[in-house]
């Protein structure tokens, strides 16, 4: 039993937060990660999305086919041309939790914002928030600061079309200095138009519009990689689009009422099951799911009157009651598409047959690899494990880390100063194999890659990842960069979801140590070295670390402890992964050399 601590646990310790205080104090519950705008999922993009969702709801109900968006200097403006918020409820709708028309099915049948929280969270998390609604030549407007009403106005709005305008600025007290990246905003807006065919979105002078819907979305993802033309069908409540590629992974984009469900849910699992049943019935065979889904790229969107999500960020659908009917609907829809497109169906069947054959061959290779590993050691010989481990479902072990090191010397330094409870070390014996153009059996034929996969525990399912952060700790020289690129190729080729989910990191270690008898500074660039040298003054000694093995365990402890500098690896465009790997790690050496030489010429100029 844990020892008792002395404290006064009485009525004074029980607090009741207002909805405004709760949103600002527990921001992550409402918008997920905060961030500064560098990552696609950062909170400032969720704020934008919450406002846009209301405009989309108007479009879905048949009001307004255009949304105007502008972002300048951190100030965001969104104007829709729908019905406009009822003038007497404008203030309440953006400031009072559980207030809105989304609870009324007669007004909004397929809304995402069912909880009446979205714009309230935006308001509470903004240093400046303005809402203006126009209806039938009249307007009502409210100005807020950090969710608190400053000013309210009403009056005539002759010549101003019906609709709602929202302006907000993310609060620096919550987000710090932020920067909306156009590439992230435009990716979200393209997604909006794919999911709402016919809706025009104008952003800073650029128009986004899609007539093909999910057909256009999957087309953007696969490019020219599709082995047969994309098959696409839509009804009022269900839309699907899919094709196969020669990729090793399966890719899904799933949506509910226009909301991207990054973690899937009932609708995605029902879609996958429906596709498998349709393919088996059409081919009159009994394929396994892995046979059908390797290289599969698909999008599925449904509309529900009462979607149930796992959190306010709405990443996963939980409506269990829709599963049976959706499996049947998807199966019928896919069967119809296969019968109406015989050439595509023939190519699909051939692709699945080939995958099944390769899978059976892989099973024998996997068996041999496991027997070989068992003969050497029950444990992975290159792994110094830690005591705690990551569990995706429970969130346990979220601070666990695996360092992939280059050589025994660097591994020894990290092992001697790591936290053995949460930090593990995997030692590379040399440069990993370049797997850019190889198939999965290459992992089982190569001891180093096989042992790395075993250490991560991702052979059968990436969700079983053993450590939350996988850190590439290579030397800051040409060889270290090459090894880092080979490791990234390994992850992106066979386990790209680990990168997509943000589990892969790069350890930043110092290049120089600048010191005299009184002071020591560690520098990560030549500019930092020169600045430190000038600041320290006389008696300066400068050491250039050629490799991680030259950093003593005592010094290394600060670089993998509280002051550790990590760079997260993330992909801005998933569909570009195969092309990036092919260009930088493929066999196109002349093309790559020409690119490098051109870059050198530009830099010299």
Q: What is the pLDDT of residue 103?
A: 40
Structure tokens at 507: 């350890």
pLDDT in tens, 128-143: 999 999 999 999 999 9
Residues 291 and 436 in one domain: no
Residues 557 and 440 in one domain: yes
Residues 232 and 343 in one domain: yes
Residues 6+ apart with CB under 8 A from 133: 84, 85, 86, 87, 90, 139, 140, 141, 163, 164, 165
Q: What are phi and psi of 142, to 5 degrees?
A: -135, 140
Residues 6+ apart with CB under 8 A from 74: 169, 170, 178, 179, 180
Q: Is-above-0.85 flag for pTM?
A: no
Evaluate whether 545 touches 476 at the Cβ level (below 8 Å).
Answer: yes
Residues 445 and 459 in one domain: yes
Nearest-10 crossing angle of helices 182-195, 214-222: 140
Evaluate whether 455 touches 443 at the Cβ level (below 8 Å).
Answer: no
Evaluate whether 263 touches 313 at the Cβ level (below 8 Å).
Answer: no
Q: What is the pLDDT of residue 98?
A: 56
Residues 6+ apart with CB under 8 A from 6: none
Structure tokens at 514: 């600048």
> Which domain-ending residue is among 526, 544, 562?
544
> Which domain-ending residue is among 166, 181, 208?
208
Residues 101 and 27 in one domain: yes
Residues 131 and 222 in one domain: no
* Nearest Cα residue to 63 out of 134, 168, 155: 134
Domain count, the chain: 4
pLDDT in tens, 240-279: 999 999 888 888 999 988 888 888 889 999 999 999 999 9
Whole-number Å distance between alpha carbons of 248 and 254: 20
Q: What is the pLDDT of residue 601?
A: 55
Instruction: Name the strand (E) or helix (H) holding 542.
Output: strand 541-544
Residue 104 has pLDDT above 50, yes or no: no
Residues 6+ apart with CB under 8 A from 369: 444, 445, 450
Evaluate whether 228 touches 348 at the Cβ level (below 8 Å).
Answer: yes
Residues 250 and 339 in one domain: yes
Whole-number Å distance between alpha carbons of 36 and 168: 16
Whole-number Å distance between alpha carbons of 117 and 80: 19
Residues 557 and 425 in one domain: yes
**Residue 336's CATH number:** 3.30.230.10
Radius of gyration in angstroms for the set of CA atoms belonging to the chain, rounded to a whole number:
28
What SS3 class is residue 45? helix
* Nearest Cα residue to 164 out of 68, 61, 43: 68
Residues 50 and 131 in one domain: yes
Q: What are phi and psi of 560, to 5 degrees?
A: -120, 20
Residue 362 forms part of a structural domain: no
Residue 364 forms part of a structural domain: no
Residue 594 forms part of a structural domain: no
CB atoms within 10 A of CB 160: 14
**Residue 65's CATH number:** 3.30.565.10
Evaluate whether 333 touches 279 at the Cβ level (below 8 Å).
Answer: no
**Residue 502's CATH number:** 3.40.50.670
Q: What are phi and psi of 148, to 5 degrees?
A: -100, 130
Residue 14 forms part of a structural domain: no
Evaluate whether 286 touches 280 at the Cβ level (below 8 Å).
Answer: yes
Residue 589 forms part of a structural domain: no
Residue 455 forms part of a structural domain: yes
Residue 590 forms part of a structural domain: no
Residue 375 forms part of a structural domain: no
Residues 178 and 219 in one domain: no
Percent of the chain with pLDDT over 70: 90
Whole-number Å distance between alpha carbons of 43 and 46: 5
Residues 460 and 564 in one domain: yes
Residue 533 has pLDDT above 70, yes or no: yes
Residues 299 and 398 in one domain: no
What SS3 class is residue 323? helix
Q: What is the pLDDT of residue 579?
A: 78
- Residue 113 lies in domain: 20-208
pLDDT in tens, 107-116: 444 554 444 4
Residue 72 has pLDDT above 70, yes or no: yes
> Would you put residue 205 in left (φ > 0), alpha (ψ -120 to 50) or beta?
left
Evaluate whether 355 touches 289 at the Cβ level (below 8 Å).
Answer: no
Computed over every residue of the chain, the mean pLDDT equals 86
Residue 190 has pLDDT above 60, yes or no: yes
Write the DSSP symbol of residue 4. Answer: P
What band does 498 get if pLDDT is binned at 50, 70 and 90? very high
Evaluate whether 597 touches 605 at the Cβ level (below 8 Å).
Answer: no
Whole-number Å distance between alpha carbons of 454 and 466: 10
């Amino acid at each position: 039993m844990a020892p008792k601590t002395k404290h006064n646990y009485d009525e004074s310790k029980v607090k009741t937060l207002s909805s405004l205080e709760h949103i600002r104090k527990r921001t992550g519950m409402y918008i997920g990660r905060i961030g500064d705008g560098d990552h696609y999922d950062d909170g400032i993009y969720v704020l934008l999305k919450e406002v846009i969702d209301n405009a989309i709801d108007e479009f879905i109900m048949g009001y307004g086919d255009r949304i105007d968006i502008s972002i300048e200097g951190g100030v965001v403006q969104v104007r829709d041309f729908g019905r406009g918020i009822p003038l007497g409820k404008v203030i309440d709708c953006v400031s009072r939790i559980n207030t809105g028309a989304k609870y009324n099915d007669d007004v909004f049948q397929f809304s995402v914002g069912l909880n009446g929280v979205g714009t309230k969270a935006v308001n509470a998390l903004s240093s400046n928030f303005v809402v203006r609604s126009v209806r039938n030549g009249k307007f009502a407007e409210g100005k807020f600061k950090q969710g608190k009403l400053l000013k309210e106005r009403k009056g005539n709005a002759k010549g101003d079309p019906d609709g709602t305008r929202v302006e907000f600025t993310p609060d620096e007290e919550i987000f710090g200095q932020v920067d909306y990246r156009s590439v992230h905003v435009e990716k979200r807006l393209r997604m909006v138009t794919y999911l709402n065919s016919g809706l025009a979105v104008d952003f800073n002078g650029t128009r986004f519009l899609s007539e093909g819907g999910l057909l256009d979305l999957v087309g953007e993802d696969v490019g020219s990689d599709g082995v047969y033309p994309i098959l696409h069908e839509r009804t009022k409540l269900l839309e699907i689009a899919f094709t196969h590629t020669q990729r090793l992974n399966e890719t899904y984009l799933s949506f509910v009422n226009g909301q991207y469900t990054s973690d899937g849910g009932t609708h995605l699992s029902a879609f996958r099951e429906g596709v498998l049943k349709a393919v088996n019935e059409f081919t009159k065979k009994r394929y396994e799911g892995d046979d059908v889904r390797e290289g599969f790229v698909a999008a599925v969107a449904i509309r529900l009157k009462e979607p149930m999500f796992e959190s306010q960020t709405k990443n996963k659908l939980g409506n269990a009651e829709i599963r049976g009917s959706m499996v049947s609907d998807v199966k019928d829809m896919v069967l119809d598409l296969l019968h109406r497109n015989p050439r595509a169906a023939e190519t699909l069947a051939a692709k699945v047959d080939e995958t099944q054959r390769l899978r059976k061959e892989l099973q024998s290779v996997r068996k041999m690899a496991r027997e070989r590993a068992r003969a050497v050691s029950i444990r992975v010989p290159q792994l110094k494990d830690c005591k705690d481990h990551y569990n995706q479902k429970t969130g346990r072990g979220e601070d666990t880390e695996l360092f992939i090191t280059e050589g025994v010397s660097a591994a020894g330094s990290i092992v001697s100063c790591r936290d053995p409870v949460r930090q593990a070390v995997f030692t590379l014996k040399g440069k990993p194999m370049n797997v850019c153009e190889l198939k999965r059996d290459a992992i089982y034929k190569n001891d180093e890659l096989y042992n790395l996969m075993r250490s991560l525990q991702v052979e059968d399912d990436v969700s079983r990842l053993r450590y939350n952060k996988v850190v590439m700790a290579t030397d800051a020289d040409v060889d270290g960069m090459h090894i880092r690129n080979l490791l990234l190729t390994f992850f992106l080729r066979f386990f790209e979801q680990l990168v997509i989910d943000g589990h892969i990191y790069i350890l930043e270690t110092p290049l120089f140590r600048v010191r005299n008898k009184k002071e020591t500074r560690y520098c990560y660039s030549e500019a930092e070295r020169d600045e430190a040298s000038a600041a320290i003054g006389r008696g300066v000694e400068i050491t250039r670390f050629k490799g991680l093995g030259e950093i003593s365990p005592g010094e290394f402890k600060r670089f993998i402890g509280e002051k550790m500098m990590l760079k997260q690896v993330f992909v801005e465009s998933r569909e570009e992964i195969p092309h990036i790997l092919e260009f930088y790690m493929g066999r196109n050496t002349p093309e790559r050399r020409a690119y490098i030489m051109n870059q050198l010429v530009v830099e010299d100029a």
